[in-house]
Chains A and B, each alone.
Chain A
Amino acid sequence: MASQEASATGMADEPPKVAFWNDPVKRGYIFQVILFFVVAFLIYEAATNAIENLTKQKIASGFGFWNVTAGFDIGQRLIEYSNTSSYGRAFWVGLLNTLLVASIGIVLATFLGFIVGIARLSKNWLVQKIATVYVELIRNTPLLLQLLFWYNAVLKALPEVRDSAALPGGAFLNNRGLFMPDPTFGPNFNYVTIALVLGLIGYVIYGRWAKKRQDATGEQARYLPVAIGLIVVVPLAIYFMAGQPLTLTYPNLGRFNIQGGLQVYPEFVALVVGLVIYTAAFIAEVVRAGIQAVSKGQTEASYALGLRPGPTLDLVVIPQAMRVIIPPLTSQYLNLTKNSSLAVAIGYPDLVQVFTGTVLNQTGQAVEVIAITMLVYLTISLSTSLLMNWYNSRKALVER
């Protein structure tokens, strides 16, 4: 019946009129307007309440505190800082400490994670089992517990200063940290640095040239001797020619204290060890999944073409596995960076400990301090994601 009527009235007619609350498009608009006003109202309420509460508690607002003298000390610092420096300076000290831990942690965790991930796929039963136990044990206990364990149960249990353990090379280990010889670079050391940089650039140029030649002629280049020559031998020769412009200041073991030398704080060591061991377990799983994602036919085809196991891994499996590995690997790197904020639990002066901890307590300006801290982490996260999206779009499988 209905279809007859519809055909009778003709195709050109407009669709039947429906009430606006039954029209999905109009309903969508209404819903969005309501949602927008609800959210705007909540934000407005929160802001007015915050202003009211802050004036009542007589807490200053704004970023005037940035240049006020901080008045507290920070043990580990990469830039000049003393208790007469400003809060802004303390922020930079904390941020640099966070970046230091994150970059060292990322490099070490990648190494350990790839080793464990490959070990989990090993045909060697013992190696595979040990890797599995490691991954399961670490992944199923909280990172904070592991950090506290490394700091309180391992590093704080090291001997006192006067009973310091002497390590080879003039270093000392005790419960105040690791004391290493402190390198001082003479003015002539610049030549060595320049040689090193030039060597690296030269090697990259050589690599490009060699690849072009291989593409054109099929002739394989020898990379390792060139790398050793350009990056190791030449700078080393210049180092000796410049009169060995590097002197080491050895730490001196006194009765109650150690003088001189480069001190690596136990908080730093605990944080790096904890983050590396924790993140490596996750990276291992990422690597394992990536390698397993390359179908077995690829390996078999490569063998059928006459490639040996080494080149098969290098040229066939790893390039394809990396495509799967890179995105989750990046999110593990970001996790490591964000997890480094747990430093606050063991007293390592990272961004959160210095800024959201001490500075917030001293100034009471919660809104500004937390906003800045979050902005820093957001910047790191979002810029990394952008970089990764760009990389992904370059490396993604080009499909027909």
Chain B
Amino acid sequence: MSETATLSETPVAYVRKTPAQALPPPASLVGVLGWMRQNLFSSPANSVLTIVTALFAAWAIPGFISFLLTDAVWTGADREACVAKNGVLPGACWAFVSDRLSFFIYGFYPIEQRWRVDLFFVLGAIGVAWMLWQKAPRRDIGFFYFILVLPIVSFILLRGWDLIGLTPVDTARWGGLMVTLVVAGVGIVASLPLGILLALGRRSKLPVVKFLSVMFIEFVRGVPLITVLFMANTMLPLFLPDNITVDKLLRALVGIGLFASAYMAEVVRAGLQALPKGQYEGAMAMGLGYWQMMRLIILPQALKITIPNIVNTYIGLFKDTSLLLIVGIFDFLKAIETARVDPQWAAPTTSATGYAFAAIVYFIFCYGMALYARSMERRLSVGDKR
């Protein structure tokens, strides 16, 4: 206070008393132009890169849009709608997709029984929502529902049970998206507990347990899924006694489940290794036995930090279900493959349309899971940021 007073009393030529008006920011740094200058044209090399990529985008994106939307055929009864007219080939044949949509979803499932599949979709959606929504009520019941009730109810619903008046439907008639979701669902539900057991086995101090776990994990991870499926398909019936016949879909499920659990085991193992040793020692000091320690202390923490990786494994599993078509299971991709060569709709753009539709469906499921994994990652890292 006193200093300013003396300052103001000292005779000086000029001292500014009020702050100067802030100048507007230079035009080259704000607004659209400034943004473009910073992000697109910051240096000559960058400008060249921008122009080249912009030209590429200008070539590719309109082509995509005109094929998928503006030039596409939306209505029609058969291939006539999608063949070239006046020498001009139309875009995507969406009429084909909308005509065959129920085939893509249900395969050869009897039409009058398809409400059961719809109910299965609804029950599954409830289970998934219950599990994913962090603030849902009674998530413990949700877990129980997802891991136990849902599989049993779905099996009875889809397969049928004469006792309660549901006509049995042979799995050979199952098909389309429904099979893809069933296989992915079984893989998701089965691979986590199996993977946890294998991961614990791999880190176990008991040599026989450790050896068997390592052998299984490394063997399965070392071979392509397609050979595992071939093995399940051709060798599983050989290994079983003569009087037991295994359903073809079940064989594929066994293959996919074993394959996914080996990958899951490595993901869980990474989570177990990431926990500080003090957690183990603390649990042991409390007098907990091995299984109590795992159930109450270790696994809850280890699984929580690996949720993003577990979901990523699920994405891989979901994509891998498409391989079932090679061993003759009628999954979603097989339904597309069958429909696209059907003479009723075989037109020059039918194949591309079918694949585009399949890509969109797979993308929605996989990207949805990826977004969830990312949001979990953010949520889990909140504690570290402080």
A→B interface (CB under 8 Å)? 24, 28, 31-32, 35-36, 39, 45-46, 49-50, 52-54, 56, 122-127, 130, 136-137, 139-145, 148-149, 152-153, 156-157, 338-339, 341-342, 344-345, 352, 356, 360, 366-367, 370, 373-374, 377-378, 381-382
The smallest C-beta distance from B343 to any residue of chain A, in angstroms, reads 16
Q: Give 9 nearest A-B pairs by CB, closest first.
A: A381-B222, A140-B366, A46-B239, A338-B224, A125-B39, A32-B208, A142-B319, A142-B322, A341-B224
Complex contact A145–B239 (CB within 8 A):
no
Stretch at the interface among B118-126, B130-138, B148-156, B352-360: B352-360
Question: Given the complex of chains A and B, what is the CA–CA distance between A127 and B57 in angstroms?
Answer: 10
Contact sample, A vs B, 9 pairs, CB 8 Å cutoff: A50-B239, A127-B53, A139-B370, A140-B363, A144-B322, A144-B326, A338-B223, A367-B235, A377-B223
Q: Is the CB of B366 within 8 A of A28?
A: no
CB distance from B273 to the nearest CB of A (A): 15
Residues of A within 8 A of B219 (CB): 374, 378
Q: Within the assembled complex, what's the spacing in Å between the Cα atoms of A28 and B355?
A: 54
B278 to chain A, nearest CB (A): 21
Closest chain B residue to A376 by CB distance? B223
A354, chain B: closest CB distance, angstroms? 13
The residue that B53 contacts in the complex, of A31, A126, A149, with Cβ under 8 A, is: A126
Contact segment of B7-15, B162-170, B226-234: B226-234
Q: How far is the CA of A341 from the CA of B326 in the complex (A)?
A: 11
Residues in chain B near residue A35, CB distance under 8 A: 208-209, 212
Asked whether any CB of chain A lies closer than 8 Å to the CB of B320, the reply is yes
Check A370–B235 contact: CB distance below 8 A: yes
Assess the B226–A341 pair: CB atoms within 8 A: yes
User: Inside 8 A of A137's CB, which chain B residues have their CB?
Assistant: 363
Query: Are A366 and B235 in contact, with the CB atoms below 8 A?
Result: yes
Q: Is the CB of B359 within 8 A of A141?
A: yes
CB contacts (< 8 Å) of B101 on chain A: these are none
Size band of the interface chain B makes with A? 35 or more
Complex CA–CA separation, A135 to B332 (angstroms): 23
The reply to whether A382 and B208 contact each other, CB–CB distance below 8 Å, is: no
B224 touches A377 (CB 8 A): yes
**What separation, in Å, do the CA atoms of A381 and B218 have in the docked complex?**
9
> Is B280 interfacial (CB 8 A cutoff)?
no
CB-CB nearest in chain A for B364: A140
B358 close to A145 (CB less than 8 A): yes
Minimum CB distance partner of A51 in chain B: B238
Please give me the residue from chain B that is nearest to A50 by CB atom. Answer: B238
> Mostly helix, strand, loop or mixed at chain A's interface?
helix
CB distance from B223 to the nearest CB of A (A): 5
Distance, CA A228 to CA B234, complexed state (A)? 55
Nearest CB on B from A28, distance (A): 5
Write out the residue numbers on chain A whose beta carbons fall within 8 Å of the beta carbon of B348: 157
**Inter-subunit contact B231/A370 (CB<8 Å):** yes
Least Cβ–Cβ distance between A386 and chain B, in angstroms? 12
Q: How far is the CA of A117 from the CA of B352 in the complex (A)?
A: 28
Contact (Cβ within 8 A) B326 A140:
no
Q: Is B145 interfacial (CB-CB < 8 Å)?
A: no
Q: A130-B57, A140-B366, A143-B319 are in contact. Are A374 and B227 (CB under 8 A)?
A: yes
Give Cα A156–Cα B222 distance, bound, in whole angstroms: 33
The 0/1 profile, CB within 8 Å of A marked 1, for residues 321-352 of chain B is: 01101100000010001001000000010011
Q: Give Cα A353–Cα B107 distance, bound, in whole angstroms.
A: 27
Inter-chain contacts of A344 with B (CB < 8 A): 226, 326
Known: A124-B46, A382-B222. 20 other contacts (CB 8 A): A31-B206, A32-B206, A32-B208, A36-B208, A125-B40, A127-B50, A139-B366, A140-B366, A140-B370, A142-B333, A148-B337, A152-B340, A344-B226, A356-B226, A356-B230, A373-B223, A373-B227, A374-B223, A378-B222, A382-B218
Residues from chain A with a CB closer than 8 A to the CB of B208 are 32, 35-36
* From B49, B50, B225, B315, contact of A140 by CB (8 A): B315
CA distance A342 to B230 in the complex (A): 12
B367-A136 in contact (CB<8A)? yes
Q: In the complex, what distance in Å separates the CA atom of A53 from the CA atom of B238?
A: 6
Residues of B within 8 A of A370 (CB): 227, 230-231, 234-235
Which residue of A is nearest B353, CB measured?
A153
Closest B residue by C-beta to A366: B234
Most buried by B among A124, A127, A136, A378: A124
Secondary structure call for the B interface = helix
Closest A residue by C-beta to B38: A123
Residues of A contacting B205 with CB < 8 Å?
Answer: 28
When the two chains form their complex, are residues B242 and A56 in contact, meaning their CB atoms are under 8 A apart?
A: yes
Complex: how many Å from CA A56 to CA B219?
30
- A-contact 0/1 string along B359-386, CB 8 Å cutoff: 1001100110010000000000000000
Chain B: minimal CB distance from A338 (Å): 4
Q: Contact check, A54 vs B238: say whether CB atoms are below 8 A apart.
A: yes
Known: A141-B362, A360-B234. A377 touches B222 (CB 8 A): yes
Give the Cβ gap from A313 to chain B, nearest Cβ, in Å. Answer: 14
Is residue B241 within 8 Å, beta carbon to beta carbon, of the partner chain?
yes
Query: What 1/0 flags go to B7-32 for Cβ under 8 Å of A?
Result: 00000000000000000000000000
Q: Out of B218, B325, B366, which one reaches A141, CB within 8 Å? A: B366
Nearest CB in chain A to that of B56: its residue: A130
Whether B279 is near chain A, meaning CB under 8 Å from some CB there, is no
The reply to whether A49 and B370 form a contact with Cβ atoms under 8 Å apart is no
| Chain B residues closer than 8 Å to A50, beta-carbon distance | 235, 238-239
The answer for the CA separation of A360 and B209 in the assembled complex, in Å, is 34
The reply on B75 being an interface residue by CB < 8 A is: no
Q: Does A145 lie within 8 Å of B222, measured CB to CB?
A: no
Residues of B within 8 A of A54 (CB): 238
B286 at the interface (CB under 8 A from A): no
Q: How far is the CA of A99 from the CA of B233 in the complex (A)?
A: 26
* A145 B333 Cβ-Cβ under 8 A: yes
Say whether A153 contacts B223, CB under 8 Å: no
Contact A148 B355 (CB under 8 A): yes
Q: Is B1 an interface residue (CB 8 A)?
A: no
Bound: A285/B241 CA distance, A:
47
* Contact A142 to B235, CB < 8 A, known contacts A36-B208, A148-B337: no
Give which listed residue, B57, B234, B240, B358, contacts A126 with CB less than 8 A: B57
- Please indicate the chain B residues that have their CB under 8 angstroms from the CB of A39 in the complex: 212
Taken together as a complex, chains A and B put the C-alpha atoms of A341 and B225 apart, in Å, by 9
A127–B39 Cα distance when bound, in Å, is: 10
Chain A hits for B46, CB < 8 A:
123-124
- Residues of A near B248 (CB, < 8 A) are none
Cα–Cα, bound, A33→B13 (Å): 99
Q: Point out the residues of chain A lying under 8 angstroms from B242, CB to CB.
A: 49, 52-53, 56
- Smallest Cβ-Cβ distance to A151: which chain B residue: B351
**B207 CB–A CB distance under 8 Å:** yes
A144 touching B323, Cβ below 8 Å = yes
Across-interface contacts of A381 in B (CB, < 8 A): 221-223
Q: What residues of chain B lie closer than 8 Å to A377, measured between beta carbons?
A: 222-224, 227
From B53, B206, B212, B225, residue with most partner A Cβ within 10 Å: B53
Q: A153–B207 Cα gap in the complex (Å)?
A: 52
